[in-house]
Amino acid sequence: MVENRKFGWIECICGSMFSGKSEELLRRIKRGVIAKQKVLLFKPTIDNRYDENRVSTHNGNTYESISIEKSADILNYVKDKKYDIIGIDEIQFFDNEIVKIINNLADNGVRVIVAGLDMDFKAEPFHPMPEIMAISEMVTKLHAVCNKCGNEASRSQRLIDGKPAKYNDPIVVIGASESYEARCRHCHEIER
């Protein structure tokens, strides 16, 4: 029998746009609420597609959240309080300091659940997600359905006026179905 069992770990939910990452994050958060655990959910201020103070899914599911500019802002909310679960949506939009912060939270007994894109629109690693995936105890990679062929989609296709974005376009452009499609490896296009 283990008497000094420690709690705290990191769960990473990743995948392309429209794969259900935020939906899965909210599902896990709501299970924590049902279990009467103390929960706090964050999202980056830059993601204001649906609601400024709620994490929202593409199908309309929502949960109250705190919008923050930079990862260090999390520390202002948790310094004097004890939370069982900290959730972070769209974690790829935070600075690299987020890796240290979530690691510290987990070391101090918090179940940290994060969700974000693992690849940018060019199908290249979207930092700091590779680092977060490496330190996570659990990684769940979700897939969408390819808008062109119907296969498993692992990539986010950015479209500008209906055409693939160019390789040198900015990495971060906030949008939903008006700017992005889910695509498989073979249907994903990038204009070079």
pLDDT score for 55: 67
- Of 11, 23, 64, 90, the active-site residue reads 90
Compute the distance between CA of residue 87 and CA of residue 1 in angstroms, rounded to an integer.
Answer: 31
Beta strands 155-160 and 180-183 are antiparallel
CB atoms under 10 Å from CB of 148, counted, come to 16
pLDDT score for 5: 64
pLDDT by position in tens, the chain (length 192): 556 667 899 999 999 999 999 999 999 999 999 999 999 999 998 876 656 676 666 676 776 888 999 999 999 999 888 999 999 999 999 999 999 999 999 999 999 999 999 999 999 999 999 999 999 999 999 999 999 999 999 999 999 888 998 999 878 776 666 789 999 999 999 977
Compute the distance between CA of residue 153 and CA of residue 146 in angstroms, rounded to an integer.
Answer: 5
pTM exceeds 0.85 for this model? yes
Beta strands, E only, 32-100 = 39-44, 54-56, 62-64, 66-68, 85-88
Residue 133 CB contacts under 8 Å (≥ 6 apart), including other chains? 12, 14, 118, 139
Compute the distance between CA of residue 102 and CA of residue 92 in angstroms, rounded to an integer.
Answer: 13
90 is catalytic: yes
Start-end of H helices in 35-169: 73-78, 97-107, 129-135
What are residue 113's DSSP bridge partners? 11, 87
Compute the distance between CA of residue 78 and CA of residue 96 in angstroms, rounded to an integer.
Answer: 19
pLDDT score for 174: 65
pLDDT score for 81: 85
